[in-house]
Structure 1
């Protein structure tokens, strides 16, 4: 019979592997599970919108937008995210709104509004007779000619 700092007695007669000993411990070490990796945020998928040959009204979402109006007198709005708006032919109104946007009116008399952020106003060779650029004081806007 053996006793090993325990309150219970365990009978045994040969002190071999068949005998059971009760030994107090501070606990069995259990390995901690592998740390769970933090999920990586996915980049939002940009919106790609293309108008027809008529007068289109296209508005993007809250992320980066690529919007092309096609021919006709189009109204294009980018909303949030760094947007790329291209009016093409016709008398277009483009509004980038928030963030850093790139706006190109194309041929025709266009109104380009960048909104908040640092915006780039891009003009091709077919610049219309009248183009209005209401600049924003909250960003550094730029103009690019071919």
Structure 2
């Protein structure tokens, strides 16, 4: 907008200068270039779905799946791994492209914090004083 006003002002001054001196003003061409960047916020994740993941627990490689069902405020599901029994998912929530999942284990709740890029995610888990990195992807 400022560029358009400046160009208009320059043309107006050139016209005034022509009127005052009696000589034609040189031709002036004003070029305005506008760049618009669309910033559409990503829709919040819907936690309902199936996921596969890989992590380490106590130095051991652990792989598994997580299924989340339900509706906002009442998500549940299950967590199945190659080393531990099945654990129930007690809650899940999403904000933007980040998801938090809490599963119940005999040693207390484990919390997963996942950040998605498309269907892939990275993040971490915590349980008591233990923690680890986690990677995976949404499978449905």
Q: TM-score, normalised by structure 2?
A: 0.29
Q: Which protein shows a greater Rg?
A: 1
Q: TM-score, normalised by structure 1?
A: 0.28
Of Structure 1 and Structure 2, which has the larger fraction of its residues in strand? Answer: 2
